[in-house]
Structures are given as structure tokens and as C-alpha cells.
Amino acid sequence: MTVAALAVQRQRRRVARRKLVSRVMLALAGLAAAIAVAPLIWIVGYVGLEGARQLSPEFLTALPTPVGVPGGGIANALVGSFMTVGLGLIVAAPVGLAAGVYAAARPDTRLGVTIRFATDTLAGVPSIVMGIFAYTIIVLPSRHFSAFSGGIVLAFIMLPTLIRTTEEMLKLVPASLREGSLALGAPEWRTSLRVLIPAAINGILTGVMLAVARGAGEAAPMLFTAFGNPFMNTDLNQPVATLPHTVFVYAISPYEDWRAKAWATAFVLIAIVLLLNVAARWLTSWRARRMGTLSG
Amino acid sequence: MTVDLRPERAEPAHAEGAAAPRPVGPSATPGATDERRVKLAIRDLNVYYGAFRALRDITLDVHANAVTAIIGPSGSGKSTLLRSINRMTDLVPSARATGEVMLDGANVLDEQVDVVEVRRRVGMVFQRPNPFPKSIFDNVAYGPRLYGVRGKTLDEVVERALRASALWNDVRDKLRASGLALSGGQQQRLCIARAIAVEPEVVLMDEPASALDPRATLLIEELMSDLKTEYTIVIVTHNMQQAARVADETAFLNMGDDRAGYLVEVGVTSQIFTNPRNRLTEDYVSGRFG
């Protein structure tokens, strides 16, 4: 065999080896991706199967029944979750969005750096600690548990997500848009309000959705604040049941029928978060198609 | 007496570029000399980014109702020069300017000057079309709205700006459609409409056609010739043929040994391209460096 032929053969072997390595790596990456997605499908599927069995229109509209009494539902927890998450969002959204806008517009100022640091720190505080904090500053002085204190603690929990996503999404807006507005003589606040925020609205709303999902799923701080309530309550000053807290109470109970209701409640919780997510995405993609905002 | 320096739209000569520069400027049309009013008088302009000097001692007159092109190799400070005219350099925190940029006799670099007012009088068009993610109408109306124009007047202002930027016929039936749905060339004309909707006196263009195809580029160039009857236009370009086609006067910037940009030569475009005074200019316009 000539030297040239040997070289060609060696070259072929090398290429074959490279292709093999490429295929193995690709397979490993695919496997890792599958492993990563599996828990999600597993959880949603399992909760769906277990929960759907208990689900009926009555479950959404009726109040809880005592152990052993058939029927009953979680209307009180739906209302309570709506109240606490709604209040939390009303309190946290303006502050969170404004702080995010500031952090994006003035990243290098002392306040900008402080916002980012404080946000990261706040995001790392366990929600149960937030619950104890709200218990100390609201529940103890007012001498009773309340939907109000639950809403406030959820505001604290939502805040980091709102600030961080708003900031990140605004940073994704091309600098040329900001320059275009400023070059027309627009002041900075107007540039943010009329150009940057509309351009990033998809991402910002996604952040709001994430925050809502996060807040809607918190059980631990509710132990100290909203407390739970087997009756319907729409008074912000009185305790309310919430979905995750109801799941907790039912799930740790020794009663078979309550545990089944825990699955159903969990299913409702997941379904609501999912629906909100889809709705927000649909809304923003419709807007994006019309005006071409950045997708988020 | 007003002298119309505009070439005929259909005149093929000005598309031939450097080979056949248009006879404009004082040397070619002596009668026009008295009409050439200095709109922008730049005196000893130095711009620094931190410790780095980006522009050194620029002294340059920009005449009213003319197109002035700034050419030069990368890093020679063309954009910096352009951006110091409407104080866009303010956006860089470390940027600092000394000297004067006199707009009708008032220094825009003066701390006392309202930057909003400067930018209303000196509009800007950027390298890449940057329409806002809004409707075509809202894009053009953005500037006028800042200054309180509303209602019927706003409709008129928008229409006038779109007509002036030769876009009206393309978009008259879809003013509510997104500005981003337009083609690249149309987007750039939309950005020109947006800039002139606030009725500026000077329009700065930073390589306005570099991201466009030849056909769209030609439209933009024709537009510049039209617009100079009302506005003073300063354009930065990498494309020497473009400078030769559209500019009445051309300024050549070069990067010095200290990496600071300085003005080598400024003159009537035909002179710069056919009979430059400076050897560097000759080398640059003939493509020997840059």
C-alpha cells in the first residue's frame, strides 16, 4: 500500500470516529433533555389523573364539607386565592415594574446596583421566612389572621420576579430604539413609557405571569397570614382559605376522602396557572403580530 | 434670490458617481456664493471618551440647504462628529466635548442649552432603520406628539412628513399597520419621515443607506436631494460614490497617530474628488487606503 493510500485510510477512520462521537454526544444531550422534561410530564399527568377523578362542577362552586360527608368543594379557596394573589399583584406590580425600569435605565448608578442586589437577595429568602415576617409586622399588631396579610406576603414574594424580568426584558430592547426616541427630543421617562416598555411588553407580561404563578402556589407563608378558613369569606380583614394551603391541609389529613380532594385541588391550581399562562401568551402574541414587539 | 441646486430627478449624470460629479458649489455656480449661509459652525471641537480623544480640533462650516458628507476610514470619528451636533454623545456617560458647535450662532454644547430643543431642531436618521414597534402613523406622530400636536393638525403633519419622505403613496392605506411590516428601504424612509415630522432645521444621517439594497439606496439618495431645499443635511457615509452623488460639500476625516479623528480637508464635493488639496484625501478617494 502506498503512503498516500495509507493517509487516505487514516483520514477516513478519523472522520468515522468523529461522526460516532458526534452521534453519541447528541444522544446523551437528547437523553438529558428527556430526563429534564420527564418530571414535568409526570407531575402534571399524575396530578391530572388523580385530580380529574374527583373533579365536578360542584367541586368548584361548593364549600368544603366535613370528613365523611360526600360532595363539597373549594369555592372558598378559589375566592381566597384570587383575593390574596390579586392584592399581592396590585401592590407588587407597580413597584416591581417601576424598579425594573429604573434598574434597566440606570444600571450603573448606586440605586440601580442596589436594586439588583436587593432583588437577588429577596429572591433567595425562603417564603416561610417571609410568612413569619408578615406575621410579625401585620398579623400580630392587628391581632388576627387576614387575607390582607396573605396578599402582602405574596407581594414580597412576587417582587423579585417582577423586577428582574422587567429589567431583563427592557435590556433586550435594541439600543437603537432608545436612541431613536431620544434623538427626537423625547425625555427619558417618555422613551421608557412609550417606546421601551411597549417593545418589551411581551416579556414583561410573561414576568407578571411567572410572578402570579409563583404567588398562587405558595402554601408556607399562608400558614402565618391567610391562615385558612372553611367558610366563604370576602373580607380582606378576615382569614381566607387559599388553594395551596387547602392542598396542604387536605393532603396531611388522615382521611381518605380529604386526601382525594387534595389531588383535585392541586389539579385546579395547576390548571388555573396553565390557563393564565396560555391566555397571556395568546394575548401578547396577538399584539406582537400586529405591532411587532419582541417575543418574550 | 434662491438658487435651486437640485439636479433633475431623472438626470442620469448624478448616478455615475465620482467620474462625473455634479457642478455645484461656489466654484461651479459663482452666483450662489452669496446665498451660502453657514448653518452649523463647528469650531475647535474636541470630543473625549474618558481619557481617549476621539476628535481633535475639528473646525468645519456646514452650509444651509446643502448636503454635507463626512467621509473617512473607520475610527476617524465620523459618527462622533455627527452625534455631537445633536448632543447624542451625552448618552455615553464618559463622553465630554470642548469647543463650539454653533447652530445659527448658539452653541449647542453649552450646558445651559436645552438638549430637547437641540434635538427638535437637529433631527437624526440612523444606520439601521429603527422604527418603533408601533403603527406607521404612530411612528411619524411620535415626535409631533412630544411637542403637543394633536388631532387634525397631527394627521396633516404626519401626511406631510410621509409625502416629503416619498412614502405616502406606499402607506396611505395602511397607516395603522406596524412600521416593522415595511421593507428595509421603506422603514428607513419612515425613519426619515419621523425625523422631519418635527420640522427640524438640520437632519443628520449616519450611514442611512448602508443596510439597504441598491434600489432602496437610490431612493434615499434622491430623497436627500429633495429634502435639502428645506433642510440642512449632514450625512456620514462609507460609500464614496454616494458622497460624490449626493453631497454638495464633502469633509474628509482621518484617524491620527494618537487614534483621534481630525479633519484633513473639506471642500466642494467635485473638488474633493477630482482635485484634492491633500495627498491623504487623494489616496482615500482613489481607494488606496481606508
| DSSP H helical ranges for chain A | 3-54, 57-61, 75-105, 110-124, 127-134, 140-142, 147-172, 175-183, 188-191, 197-199, 201-216, 243-251, 256-291
> In this model, does residue A199 exceed pLDDT 60?
yes
pLDDT at B11: 39
Residue B167 cell numbers, joined: 412614502
CB proximity B198 to A under 8 Å: yes
pLDDT at B10: 39
Architecture of the domain whose range is B63-84+114-253+263-285? 3-Layer(aba) Sandwich (3.40)
B27-63: per-residue pLDDT in tens? 444 444 446 899 999 999 999 999 999 999 999 999 9
Determine contact, residues A105/A188, Cβ cutoff 8 Å: yes
pLDDT at A295: 42
> In this model, does residue B200 exceed pLDDT 80?
yes
> In this model, does residue B17 exceed pLDDT 70?
no
Global pTM value: 0.79
Query: Hey, of B84, B132, B187, which one would you mutate to test binding to chain A, going by the most A CBs within 10 A of its CB?
Result: B132
A56-85: per-residue pLDDT in tens? 999 999 999 888 888 889 999 999 999 999
Residue A279: pLDDT band (50, 70, 90) is confident
- Over range A91-112, report the average pLDDT: 94
Bigger pLDDT: A293 vs B108: B108
Determine contact, residues B231/B204, Cβ cutoff 8 Å: no
pLDDT at B284: 92
CATH topology of domain A60-291: MetI-like fold (1.10.3720)
Map A28-72 to HEC letters.
Answer: HHHHHHHHHHHHHHHHHHHHHHHHHHHCCHHHHHCCCCCCCCCCC
Q: What angle do CA B97, B100, B106 make, to 5 degrees?
A: 125
Residue B16: pLDDT band (50, 70, 90) is very low
> In this model, does residue B289 exceed pLDDT 50?
yes
DSSP letters of B54-68?
EEEEEEEEEETTSEE
> In this model, does residue A289 exceed pLDDT 80?
no
Mean pLDDT taken over chain B? 87
Half-sphere exposure at residue A97, Cβ-oriented, CA atoms within 13 angstroms? 19
pLDDT at B104: 94
- Would you say how long chain B is, in residues? 290
Using alpha carbons, select from B202, B238, B206 the residue that is nearest to residue B108. B202
Which among B128, B134, B142 is the nearest to A176, CB-wise? B128
Bigger pLDDT: A201 vs B85: B85
CB proximity B210 to A under 8 Å: no
Residues 6+ apart with CB under 8 A from A65: A71, A72
Cα B242 to Cα B239: distance, rounded to the nearest angstrom: 5
Residue extents of the structural domains in chain B: 63-84+114-253+263-285
Chain B: give the shortest CA distance to residue A157, in Å.
32
Nearest CA in chain B to A289: B178
A180–B146 C-beta distance less than 8 A: no
Residues of chain A numbered 166-225 and touching chain B (CB < 8 Å): 174, 176-177, 179-187, 190, 194-195, 198-199
Which among B119, B133, B180 is the nearest to A183, CB-wise? B119
Cα A125 to Cα A158: distance, rounded to the nearest angstrom: 12
Q: Number of helices and strands (H, E) in chain B?
A: 10, 10
B128-142: per-residue pLDDT in tens? 999 999 999 999 999
What's the ipTM? 0.83
Residue extents of the structural domains in chain A: 60-291
Cα B213 to chain centroid, rounded? 19
Cα B175 to Cα B161: distance, rounded to the nearest angstrom: 13
Determine contact, residues A160/A120, Cβ cutoff 8 Å: yes
Strands (E) located in B128-244: 202-206, 232-236
Q: What angle do CA A145, A151, A155 make, to 5 degrees?
A: 135
pLDDT at A290: 63
